[in-house]
Amino acid sequence: MDDHFNDFNNFDDFENLEVGELPEPPPPPDVEEVLQLLHSSAALDRTAAARAFCELQDSRAIPRLLELLTDDCPLVRVGVCYALGRNFCDAAIAPLIATLEQDWNGYVRKGIVWTLGNCRDPRALAPLISSLRYDISAVRLWAASALGHLGSCAAIAPLIDALETDPVAAVRSNCAWALGKLLPQHPLDRHSPLYRRAVNALSHGLEDEDLGVQNDVRDTIRRWGDRHMAHVLEQMEWNQGYCEL
């Protein structure tokens, strides 16, 4: 494998540096070479090439990256998921969703969730909601963030559900964060059931057993800008003697 893929590890070079100097970063990978490595018979080469395209952008890589979504090696598939987030095209949505529904590897599904959130395509909404509800915790917490990035009003109710019921604090925190992205974008009718559910979930979130969740809920309430919730937060902080350092 070409040295472009190796980290700086020549200790003799460190000895020749002046005090305060840092070694020069390695040159970027050669795109033509990386394109060839995507077709290598060696899984490590395909993995390195896929990871390189997490930084590089070249539309010629997309067809091969889509083929590698079904590679036998999970490390290749993980790299491909993130590479498609950098080299995105509309044609990738359907294969990514199909892989999300079928792949046994949680790291692969996690990468797909990240890419789908960044694509902001409405077709990603339903599979991301499904991941938030039913996948392992490592995928659920990224699905919550991805739904915040996706920006759809339809994600508010599932995020409220997960904020109220998910047993993992990190997932609840990401749900609160995502609601902080969505609620300011989508004003809710104050007489609607969805508004009441949001108020109840955030109010309970202020008393979550996890301090990280509490802090994310506070931030969400401030970003939302709803007067009623701002008053609830102010009153609670007054009663608790809360202040930010």
* Residue 235 confidence (pLDDT): 82
Give the closest residue to 112 by CA, choosing from 137, 142, 76. 142
Report residue 40: phi and psi, to 5°: -65, 150
Query: Domains along the chain?
Result: 151-245 (1.25.10.10)
Give this prediction's pTM: 0.84
Look at residue 243 in the predicted model and tell me its pLDDT. 52
Give which of 128, 71, 134 is closest to 103, Cα–Cα. Answer: 71
pLDDT digits (tens, 9 = 90+) for 185-206: 999 999 999 999 999 999 999 9
Q: Could you tell me the end-to-end alpha-carbon distance of the chain, in angstroms, rounded to an integer?
A: 50
Predicted pLDDT at 21: 57
Alpha carbon distance 221, 199 (integer Å) = 9
Q: What is the pLDDT of residues 12-53, one digit of tens each?
A: 443 454 555 566 666 777 899 999 999 999 999 999 999 999
Q: How long a stretch of residues is the chain? A: 245
Task: Tell which wins on pLDDT, 5 or 234.
Answer: 234
Predicted confidence (pLDDT) at residue 123 exceeds the cutoff of 50: yes
